[in-house]
Amino acid sequence: MKEEFAHDKGKAVMPGNTFGEMFRVTTAGVSHGPGYVAIIDGCPPGLPLSVDDLMPDLRRRRPGQSKIVSQRDEEDVPEILSGVFEGMTDGTSIGILFRNKDQRSQDYADIKEKYRPGHADFTFDAKYGFRDYRGGGRSSARETLCRVAAGAIAKKILGQQGMRILGYVKQIGNVSAEIPDPTQVTLEQVEATPVRCPVPDKAAAMIQLIEEVRKDLDSIGGVCELVATGVPAGLGEPVFDKLKADLAKALLSLPAVTAFEYGAGFAVATARGSENNDSFIRKSSGQIGTESNRHGGMLGGISSGEPIVCRVAVKPTSSLPQAQRTVTRAGEPTQIAVKGRHDPCLLPRFVPMGEAMLALVLVDHWLRHRAQCGK
């Protein structure tokens, strides 16, 4: 007789923990296990790299950084295990290790048997037959610390080529900031407030809204805008691997993202071609570009040399301290109020995650491009 797998007979898992073609990130880890590990394959040799390069974005991502985010206390200081020799990347795969510290698994005992609305509890059970019920397990947004670390390396490579990535909060609830020229926003403006909106009065209103929502034991959604400048024309493949397609996948692969648009986005629906087309011109630099940028820096799925501008919607945190109706694993009606230390609004900590995914896509396509161009 053949021995069977314990929980679910004959369930396999398809590999799905790797992102990228030429700059490839593979991750493992859960929020309440010993830690996370990421392997980054495809980083060019000769890049000066140390943990210090990873810390700024990790600090922007980490919980406990301000009063308006989760108070879970994680330092999130990684150890680089390989791929760096005498201070430089050496072309071999980079291993990065994060230890989990402040786990408090006891907070999650209640959710073992009840499905939290808006979470992956039910779908994990439907898929695998059981789940690591400690705080989301593998679907925890804590996994994004691997992405942010990898994204920091990607950003450094891009920076050496004159490409800059920046994200900011554009909208929370009904508070929306007008950004006349996304390319003029600075990191300092973004980091000036804990909410990461570069328009000060809007930032203040957003913070106030978050405080209100928290008092109401509720949460609130928003919109993050991401901008890449200095991107050369020619990045992206013309058919399936369009730059816009890979950006959409990258950003939708982040937890809580429900929508993506670039350039004019959904506004193209009401536009006529004569107003939506950006006219080509010769710029003062002598280079060919466009007069306006409704195309968000991508034409035919390939970068045009204009700034890449895109936006994503992030839903309100699903975990709420207030009671919500749901069912048990057996289907019995019940209620659940999710304890733990959750963000009342995901947007402030989302910014570095969104930047990381944009950076990972760009460095991947830039490496493809360099392969193509021999530059």
In angstroms, the CA 63 to CA 74 distance is: 7
Binding-site member from 193, 244, 353, 355 for a copy of itself (CB under 8 A): 244
Binds a copy of itself (CB under 8 A): choice among 50, 73, 85, 208: 85
State in angstroms the smallest separation of the CB of 204 from a copy of itself.
Answer: 18
Contact residues for 28 (Cβ-Cβ < 8 A; gap 6+): 17, 36, 37, 38
**105 scored as a contact of a copy of itself (CB under 8 A):** no
Sign, CA dihedral 29-35-36-39, equals: negative
Site for a copy of itself in 149-168 (CB under 8 A): 159-162
Crossing angle of helices 51-61 and 144-160, rounded to 10°: 130
Contact call for residue 340 and a copy of itself (CB under 8 A): no
Strand partners, 129: none
Minimum gap (Å) between residue 183 Cβ and a copy of itself: 19
Out of 203, 248, 309, 359, name the contact with a copy of itself by CB under 8 A: 248
Please list, in sequence order, all residues whose beta carbon lies within 8 angstroms of the beta carbon of residue 346, skipping any fewer than 6 positions away.
141, 219, 221, 222, 256, 314, 315, 316, 317
Site for a copy of itself in 161-220 (CB under 8 A): 161-162, 171-174, 213, 216, 218-220
Q: Is-contact 332 52, C-beta < 8 A?
A: no
Question: What sign has the CA pseudo-torsion 234, 351, 187, 81?
Answer: negative
Residue 136 in tokens = 């989301």
Region from 50-58, 68-76, 110-118, 190-198 binding a copy of itself, contact rule CB under 8 A: 110-118
Q: Which stretch binds a copy of itself (CB under 8 A): 56-64, 67-75, 89-97, 194-202?
A: 89-97
Binding track over 286-305 against a copy of itself, x by CB under 8 A? x-x-xx---xx-xxxxxxxx
Using the contact rule CB under 8 A, the part of the chain among 57-65, 113-121, 180-188, 192-200 near a copy of itself is: 113-121
Q: Looking at the DSSP assignment, which residues form a beta bridge with residue 333?
A: 327
**In the complex, least distance from residue 375 CB atom to a copy of itself, rounded to whole angstroms:** 6
User: Should residue 93 be labelled a site residue for a copy of itself when binding is judged by CB under 8 A?
Assistant: yes
Separation of alpha carbons 351 and 57, rounded Å:
10
The nearest distance, CB 132 to a copy of itself, in angstroms, is: 4
* Residue 128 lies near a copy of itself (rule: CB under 8 A): yes
Q: Which stretch binds a copy of itself (CB under 8 A): 7-15, 54-62, 66-74, 185-193?
A: 7-15
Is 359 a residue that touches a copy of itself (CB under 8 A)? no
Considering only residues 56, 276, 339, 340, which one is a binding residue for a copy of itself as defined by CB under 8 A? Answer: 276
End-to-end CA distance of the chain: 60
Residue count of the chain, please give it.
Answer: 375
Of 66, 204, 268, 339, the one binding a copy of itself by CB under 8 A: 268
Residues 21-60: x where in contact with a copy of itself by CB under 8 A, - otherwise, as a string: xxxx-xxxxx--xxxxx-x-xxxxxxxx------------
Kindly give the pairing relationship between strand 94-99 and strand 288-290. unpaired
Q: How far apart are CA 29 and CA 114, in angstroms?
A: 23
**Angle (nearest 5°) at CA 115 between 114 and 120:** 145
